[in-house]
Structure 1
């Protein structure tokens, strides 16, 4: 019997080891050849739309060749008037020719294996000519009406279409709204002011609308407006697709309905949901200070519920019923909450500042707590403005900041469709980087997208694994809102104490934001919760937090515990319950700490072991961790322009750490314990702790020594340029003939090696020089802060074979396998950006604006200057020996 037991135990252990090994090998295989659905996508702007089938096909093929897995079609404003001389014709949005182009695109996408999403409208927010004034975005506004002493009547202002007076207040009392143009009042001996509250329309027009898509923005919380849009626009768009070619998803951009604060039946909905008449309390919506905060809370909460019930839920259901999905940026005005993200199939964020509150972490946090496997972000929106200035390194510098927030699907912003007859580099969006194949350095794009593809795939493995949650002060945001700007996420930017997020990250932790709805739904599974100086908190959520603490949860309060429940509906009983719970939590001194905001980081270190403990703190170092079935996976990145050299201890270290390089696809041992961390500027790596992989030899530092100086003696030529461009070390722009040249230049030279130079124990590296860090600046238009030795990317061939691309630190390639004794030939194709060409060609929009109006303003045109280009060196063949 004992032998049988031992045999069964051994068999079970063997099966477990085999399973573990199999899982680890599959993980490595997925890293090497990641699933196609993790490829980055592009937002594809159709300007006009003025698109032709042949060019649509060509651009889809170019996207695929560049490593993109799909695109989102977004029709926007025209960039040319109709022009018979060039064949440019702006096809009206939703017209039969437009739908024919959409159908053709879907067929080509399917044949190419490309994902296709479609924006559920033109421009943003949703709206257009089908929206009557009665369904346009609505507002509540206050009109001040002065009354002279002795006046017996109040004259009411003229009501425009879509407007109506809903309440009139005099001497802080509500009086009936007259049906006529004047209201009779009792005279008084003093001057007074009456206040008329008008439910009207913001009048906002769809931003960046295509031809034929102009009109009012919809009332997002009107069932009639949303249903009208889905029928008139949504169903019309989907009529271009048959059952086999439905879009993967329909897309909604961020809600930017400025001033939206009302809908026609809001008073009725408010009373049904909150239990009292909002019209009796309208002055509170405009009151200064804390007066009326409880009413504002109830009003904002009602708006938020209506966004959920009347916009997000119906559109998601509509999409699912038609065989597609709803991808949405769930933030803005009117005010969704973090938990509103749970109502859409595919939540999406925006914003690269990973050390502050932003809408990317808002979306990824919701995806994590509500267990959504895929979460996307709109990426590169303002990268290195003006358009066409961005480089491959700029792309990586920003995309890593999205990865550090938990994003695992990149939606690039974006790809401008451009007719072939338009002069290079063609059309571009007014406020974003341009990444189509008319960009001079596009031949390097497959290397960039392969990196993005690998990391995106790995960040879908396992489950997110953050120990810390930060409670969003949504209740305080509701209470502070005003009709002019009713946005939860915008309020968050103002409410967080300085460096709250930074203190959590510097304490070696990652985190998710969480809100009351998620906690009530039982989604607080973290080890520690931070309450950031709340005045109000949802009482049901606070009950759950108290129970969670009783079960071992940890809380750090910055400032003070909350004392109010939220709205007028909650009343004194709600406030009393919150105060009781606060006192109860204060008694849990081992599990609840109340500290000044500036002490958060130190307190966090004292109560929670760091997930990553750096030997020397560095705010440019970032990480995120995923929990696997058989270990842990870290993504770490240097987000700064200076190298990071340190040691770190990683939680979950099983003694088998490996570095996986998502740029090269190579791996090496990382060791265990105090692991050496070496990151070049803007470099990133995956650190994997799993069992079952073949054990690697410990990584060994290489000694680098110069072998050959190759800085001079190059044959330099550029297509279409008669005189040779300058040698390495000099910018093309120093030559007057090349000052405005955008394109590529080929550098060629030969060199000889002896057989002894090709020692098997040495690696030979082609090194293009060092970068120079630029000063730290607050970046509204983010970019990589480096002066690079290669401007701005290069493809290298050695002895007629591809050696790789050079576009990021450390600016070198291992060329050992390609070298041979005797003569060797190296060719370097250097590419710059399109900025140099554009700087010599100012564009006039006079006729375009006369025809269609001023629908956009191109950003940062004052920065349109020639950029240094070429090889700056020195170029050296380096010997690397262990």
Structure 2
């Protein structure tokens, strides 16, 4: 085939059109990365707050999220009760310092997690569950035993064990006594009620607590073998005596009681310990938030940006919080029938269709309540104060897309791209500028993650639609605290005492530059992939409620298969819920949402579809939309209420869709649009005029955003192969600008059109990324500099001077190397345990011949490297490829090369372990390991069995000419 190639932007056209300024977007505190800022024990003071914040600002952090948490042993006299007047003074000081440093502040609306709980939350507002009893009764019989249920005591604490104390707190006077007293409480019977009346709650670290008590009866129903039902609730007196004799037939009696789930605020700060709230009760959230209203009076919070909520995390304890007072009335109002008449179906061990439909209605009601009685009131409360909210909706029994949809900044976490897309989709569809991420949580075991690892996961967040990074995280630590200071129990540790802090600014500048593009413009995705919430909520499960978090629960579904397939092939898509679909309109063949336009909606072999959703899809098709049906049309409506009427209407509508074969596909024309059905996803998308980004076939990944007159592309090379080739785009352009956000280089890209497809020349090493700004018109400016090899590489050999610059526990003496390798292998004292930065220096002659530039390749490095040539800083390299381009003008006849290599915390931590130094000194969870093999006999993390970690410049270091 003959290719028609048109070069639209070349060096010649640049010279013809002259020069123009190529602009990077403006930098703001929000374009910079943020970090979660743990206040351990809230034992903070103004002097150290200021000192900490100055360190954070200096490395390019734009904002902090304050999350108070459990305390540090030995600092009990510095603990500050949460939301006390003193605590508010410290918050005010922090806000003033943030303003001075041009930073912004969010605060968690609570301490630890789950959101909501503490001293104000008594039985009425605490999270609930239900239990039940059944009796089989024949005609003429009565139930003689009291209708009662005694909740048995249960205590689950996650604090330190008494056996740990001597090793954990050898140098403190108060902590062992406090913890010893706490450890004597082995069960709930030894705790007074309410829980916040107990002493030493920091030491107790209670995760879940149930007191021994009689539970209030909610309803008692009799079900006969001829489908009779009798409500017996009014026939039970205060003593539990039931006055009822069974009429003719065989009867099963169900008595349902309201219990207390017992979940406590986990990892709570001093003064914040207590019951978790009932997330299905608006009265509970209002009661909880009233504590903030009281604390805020008289304090200036004008520089507080907003409030944060971590993921649901109520049901990570034993059992589920699955009930709330007034539930039966809410159910009847929402579902149109009385659930009390169907308790046998709701609680059935073996599920039939009716039982599953009743179960669906129960789950849908709980989902509605979480959204409407918790998330919405919280957002309204913040909005009334002029603040925004950032919310992690995942992990809850609600439709997480809808919960993400009603907040200002949806936030995700983890490492899976499809998980990210739930938060990002809500932001994209509903026109929210920001989608955030709790970033880099538990990437690896403690002290094992480097900045290159963090960059890798951040690039995945960007590809997944995130544009507001919040690191997880940074602990406030007094400046004079012995190394390693105060640490949170989960890695990665973004602490100023971490050796990689020296190079942290390089990563932060990269994130800032990327986010300055990704926060601009509008999302540009083509496909709305319908989220089959009703399908999963109609499936049986181990527990009554399903919880939603990414693709959990959908692993074996076509919904997951289609999403993975589109992700791998480069189709740009977002997830959409039934509620969000209500906001979609059709403008010709385009689907318009508040956040932008899409080309089609995909139903991935969906089984159940709410009637309103089917009606909406048909309406959209009538106006021109193309609706893709992968495999099969939905067969009916979910749920039990008014089933016959709803199902008939559903069937009548689907009967009007007359599918006609068109090759391998089937098409049902509806007005100006159509439903298109088939089993070949690519063919279906082609029929809907949707194409993938072809660069995915080259091993690249990308995300697009619409801007005036063109697009922004963020492109990542997540493969292990370098790319240096023409990259085709799915959007047409006349020219483009390439931005290298790591090296802060930019220029007009080489662009051409091949058979109508725009192609841009891109060079990316594995792990590298770039931003591409395309334009519908010819752009002017300096050309982007591309380089290709012009000869063989030669190794820089000779005597290297190794000088240890900063770090500890001590600085080893300077030495000379004739061969590069890990500094832990150098035969000098203190090198193995050294964590910090060491400088490798050498002199070398200019390579023979001439070239416009050279590439310096450092080979292997552990972990990061700053390169200085003849006094000129060429940048800091984070890996996995350690290469830097040297303009020929920087080379002299004889050259001085300095490579400053920084390792991690591992070796110094290992040294502390070998010495038996007590650095793990934290209440509550103290310091758990991520991996079981790193857990000591006391259950706490240990590095004692580790080997010293390879560190330094491993090489070989080579230099090669470029052209």
Q: Paired residue for 1:703? A: 789
Please give the per-residue CA displacement for 1:175-211, whole angstroms capped at 9, x wherever unaligned.
5243334546768999997543222221001111112
Taking only aligned residues, the RMSD between alpha carbons, in angstroms, comes to 3.2
Gap change, CA 1:194 and 1:734, over 3 Å in 2: farther
Q: Paired residue for 2:856? A: 766
Return the offset for 1:77: 1.2
- Secondary structure of residue in 2 paired with 1:624: strand
1:562 aligns with 2:634: yes
Return the offset for 1:79: 2.9
Gap change, CA 1:594 and 1:417, over 3 Å in 2: same
User: CA–CA distance in 2 between the matches of 1:817 and 1:486?
Assistant: 66
Return the offset for 1:52: 2.3
1:249 aligns with 2:312: no
User: CA–CA distance in 2 between the matches of 1:602 and 1:645?
Assistant: 30
- Structure 1, 236-245 or 651-660: larger mean CA deviation: 236-245
Return the offset for 1:797: 1.9
Q: Paired residue for 2:804? A: 718
Please give the per-residue CA displacement for 1:472-528, whole angstroms capped at 9, x wherever unaligned.
011223333769463552485222435322211233311010011111122653212
Q: Paired residue for 2:601? A: 529
Please give the per-residue CA displacement for 1:395-453, whole angstroms capped at 9, x wherever unaligned.
11101111112111111111111223333222222123111221101121121111111
Gap change, CA 1:416 and 1:171, over 3 Å in 2: same
User: CA–CA distance in 2 between the matches of 1:169 and 1:263?
Assistant: 19
Q: Paired residue for 1:595? A: 678
Gap change, CA 1:403 and 1:69, over 3 Å in 2: same
User: CA–CA distance in 1 between the matches of 2:346 and 2:917?
Assistant: 45
User: CA–CA distance in 1 between the matches of 2:516 and 2:533?
Assistant: 33
User: CA–CA distance in 2 between the matches of 1:221 and 1:46?
Assistant: 29
- Residue pair 1:335, 1:486 contacting (<8 A) in 2 also: no
User: CA–CA distance in 2 between the matches of 1:434 and 1:142?
Assistant: 46
- Residue pair 2:484, 2:919 contacting (<8 A) in 1 also: no
1:751 aligns with 2:844: yes
1:344 aligns with 2:407: yes
Q: Paired residue for 1:610? A: 691
| Equivalent position to 2:24, from 21, 26, 30 | 30
- Structure 1, 375-384 or 39-48: larger mean CA deviation: 375-384
| Equivalent position to 1:631, from 687, 710, 714 | 710
Q: Paired residue for 1:17? A: none
Give matches, 1:15-164, under 5 Å. 28-31=22-25, 33-82=26-75, 89-125=78-114, 126-143=116-133, 152-155=143-146, 156-158=148-150, 163-164=215-216
Gap change, CA 1:546 and 1:295, over 3 Å in 2: same
Q: Paired residue for 2:269? A: 210
| Equivalent position to 1:463, from 503, 519, 522 | 522
What's the TM-score once normalised by structure 2's chain length? Answer: 0.79
Q: Paired residue for 1:548? A: 620
- Secondary structure of residue in 1 paired with 2:512: helix
Return the offset for 1:800: 2.6
- Residue pair 2:789, 2:960 contacting (<8 A) in 1 also: no
Q: Paired residue for 1:682? A: 767
Q: Paired residue for 1:514? A: 576
User: CA–CA distance in 1 between the matches of 2:932 and 2:797?
Assistant: 36
Please give the per-residue CA displacement for 1:629-650, whole angstroms capped at 9, x wherever unaligned.
2012211212244445665421
Gap change, CA 1:485 and 1:72, over 3 Å in 2: farther
Return the offset for 1:174: 5.6
User: CA–CA distance in 2 between the matches of 1:739 and 1:36?
Assistant: 39
Q: Flag structure 2 segments of 5+ consecutive residues without an equivalent.
A: 1-16, 152-211, 586-590, 593-597, 661-665, 668-673, 754-758, 935-942
Gap change, CA 1:571 and 1:861, over 3 Å in 2: closer
Return the offset for 1:380: 0.9
Gap change, CA 1:733 and 1:574, over 3 Å in 2: farther
Q: Paired residue for 1:299? A: 362
Q: Flag structure 1 segments of 5+ consecutive residues without an equivalent.
A: 1-20, 770-788
Return the offset for 1:225: 1.2
- Secondary structure of residue in 1 paired with 2:911: coil
User: CA–CA distance in 1 between the matches of 2:249 and 2:268?
Assistant: 51
User: CA–CA distance in 2 between the matches of 1:271 and 1:613?
Assistant: 51
- Residue pair 2:718, 2:767 contacting (<8 A) in 1 also: yes
Gap change, CA 1:586 and 1:46, over 3 Å in 2: farther
- Secondary structure of residue in 1 paired with 2:773: strand
Return the offset for 1:556: 2.7
What's the TM-score once normalised by structure 1's chain length? Answer: 0.86
- Residue pair 1:430, 1:859 contacting (<8 A) in 2 also: no
- How many residue pairs get aligned? The number is 820
Q: Paired residue for 1:368? A: 428
- Residue pair 1:653, 1:672 contacting (<8 A) in 2 also: no
User: CA–CA distance in 1 between the matches of 2:261 and 2:20?
Assistant: 58
- Secondary structure of residue in 2 paired with 1:210: coil
Return the offset for 1:303: 2.0
User: CA–CA distance in 1 between the matches of 2:926 and 2:494?
Assistant: 22
User: CA–CA distance in 2 between the matches of 1:752 and 1:699?
Assistant: 25
Gap change, CA 1:60 and 1:362, over 3 Å in 2: same
1:663 aligns with 2:742: yes
- Secondary structure of residue in 1 paired with 2:80: coil
Q: Paired residue for 2:156? A: none
Q: Paired residue for 2:459? A: 400
Q: Paired residue for 2:11? A: none
User: CA–CA distance in 1 between the matches of 2:620 and 2:134?
Assistant: 50
| Equivalent position to 1:266, from 327, 343, 353 | 327
Q: Paired residue for 2:643? A: 571
User: CA–CA distance in 2 between the matches of 1:338 and 1:768?
Assistant: 46
Gap change, CA 1:403 and 1:707, over 3 Å in 2: closer
1:821 aligns with 2:904: no
User: CA–CA distance in 1 between the matches of 2:342 and 2:907?
Assistant: 59
Please give the per-residue CA displacement for 1:691-716, whole angstroms capped at 9, x wherever unaligned.
35215558655124356522441110
Q: Paired residue for 1:740? A: 833
- Residue pair 1:261, 1:483 contacting (<8 A) in 2 also: no
Q: Paired residue for 1:811? A: 882
Gap change, CA 1:176 and 1:848, over 3 Å in 2: farther
- Structure 1, 549-558 or 109-118: larger mean CA deviation: 549-558
User: CA–CA distance in 2 between the matches of 1:828 and 1:229?
Assistant: 55
User: CA–CA distance in 2 between the matches of 1:190 and 1:584?
Assistant: 47
- Residue pair 1:303, 1:334 contacting (<8 A) in 2 also: yes
Return the offset for 1:661: 1.3
User: CA–CA distance in 1 between the matches of 2:959 and 2:287?
Assistant: 66
Please give the per-residue CA displacement for 1:443-476, whole angstroms capped at 9, x wherever unaligned.
2112111111111111122211111111001122
User: CA–CA distance in 2 between the matches of 1:443 and 1:369?
Assistant: 39
User: CA–CA distance in 1 between the matches of 2:296 and 2:307?
Assistant: 10
- Residue pair 2:149, 2:215 contacting (<8 A) in 1 also: no
User: CA–CA distance in 1 between the matches of 2:232 and 2:327?
Assistant: 19
Please give the per-residue CA displacement for 1:148-176, whole angstroms capped at 9, x wherever unaligned.
99885345322555932223456665652
Q: Paired residue for 1:176? A: 232
User: CA–CA distance in 2 between the matches of 1:269 and 1:683?
Assistant: 53
User: CA–CA distance in 2 between the matches of 1:485 and 1:430?
Assistant: 32
- Secondary structure of residue in 2 paired with 1:255: coil
